[in-house]
A and B are shown apart, each in its own frame.
Chain A
Amino acid sequence: MSAYALFKKDLASEIRTRYAVNSLIMFIVVTISVILFSIGNEKISDFLSGGLFWVVIFFSAMSGLSRAFVSEEERGTTLTLQLIASPTTIFSGKLFFNLILVFAMNIIIALLYSALFNSFVLKNFHLFLYAFILGNIGIAIASTLIASIIAKASSKGTLYPVLSFPILLPLMLTLIDLTKQAMDGTTFQSSYVELAILGCYDVVMIAASFMLFDFIWKD
């Protein structure tokens, strides 16, 4: 499968150079540390710790997910990719890479977070798990698409969060709400609507992305 081959290429490149992984892990550590230091000895509420969790996730995503397209653009290999694959293949491959990256990052963040924040206790773990999975997929899709947009613009670093935030906002709001519900121990039944929203978001974003990517990719 061509898209899978593209993913393998990116993965091999990453393993060989280790550009992203090192800086990303440090970024996660730094972000969590900043939050810990800002809180100091104060006790924070559950809801607050739940919200901050997604803040860390958002900024880590902004740090790591643009690489997929920006590195190609900066090295001049965008043309090479255009010569060997169709736009759909390119997007699928990059999306797959970012999906893996998002899950890897967020699992690390979740583990670190639950270890370091006492108020981050999930009574309904299954609810959180579903929200986590659906949410990560949504973050990956939207972030990949926006990454392809900013790769073609200047001031990519600052532009990326500016463009991504409005698009990710409905997702983040729902995720924060679901996290709170998971902490409260709300049942699956009552959270059904929120989970459906996450699912809808994923479906809509993926459809829109595939349709629009051609226009971004081709000059």
Chain B
Amino acid sequence: MEKTYNNKAWLLVIPVFILVALSAIIPIMTVVNYSVQDTFGGNKFFWVGTEWFTDVLRSERFHNALGRNLLFSFIILCIEIPLGIWIALSMPKKGIWVPVCLIMMALPLLIPWNVVGTIWQIFGRGDIGLLGHTMSLLGIDYNYTNNIFDAWLTIIIMDVWHWTSLVVLLCYAGLVSIPEAYYQAARIDGASKWSVFRFIQLPKMRGVLIIAFLLRFMDSFMIYTEPFVLTGGGPGNSTTFLSIDLVKQAIGQFDLGPAAAMSLIYQLIVLLICYIFFTVMSHVGSDKPLEEKAE
């Protein structure tokens, strides 16, 4: 049968094009535009090519911030994913405690980022903060404004407190969708608790875990507000992440060119790492035969 082609159909797609153009393409193109030009003020720009990109890629400041970002994301993923799974497994599956647990879990997620930063900033203060004051009473020298380790520790605990719930809720959704028959079959097969986790719960949570992993990676890699409020990037530059550095350059120093180049590189890194994660994780356990460990 002859197919009818009607180019008028493109008209129907135009609204989407306009929306995407306004929300994504045009803003990104302005950034691209800044990244290849320089200005001495007076709204006069001239072409510099890839100079800003090479500058950024060679700058030690960028390398350090990127290193901090990677370390931070790595640490919080290592804590939040296992902790989230563990909490989800220990939550009740039915009864009146289910909504109670779910609401408790959702609470941290409802708090605005800068409020979270403020809460922990006050909480950790040595003079009036509950945590900071208790620590000094116990004789522990804790000061997140002076000590690099304390600053990192506070930011990590803050992020774990704020975001583990997301992992918990996603895992919980995965867990409750497992039909009862799987657990019954496992009991009949004489499976141990670990086997049930390893061969039923974990595989069934795979999908939601990929999402949890990606979301937590992206969010933690782009973290800005909480450390900005808590430490302002200090002590020194020890908690200056890429996003904080970017804002310093773009708004603090008004170096639009390098800042634009940096944000493009930043964005590409996020995309690239997410792509790699997603590809690797969606292949884990699906195609290649599994190396079975004897239990």
Q: Do the two shown chains form a genuine complex with each other?
A: no
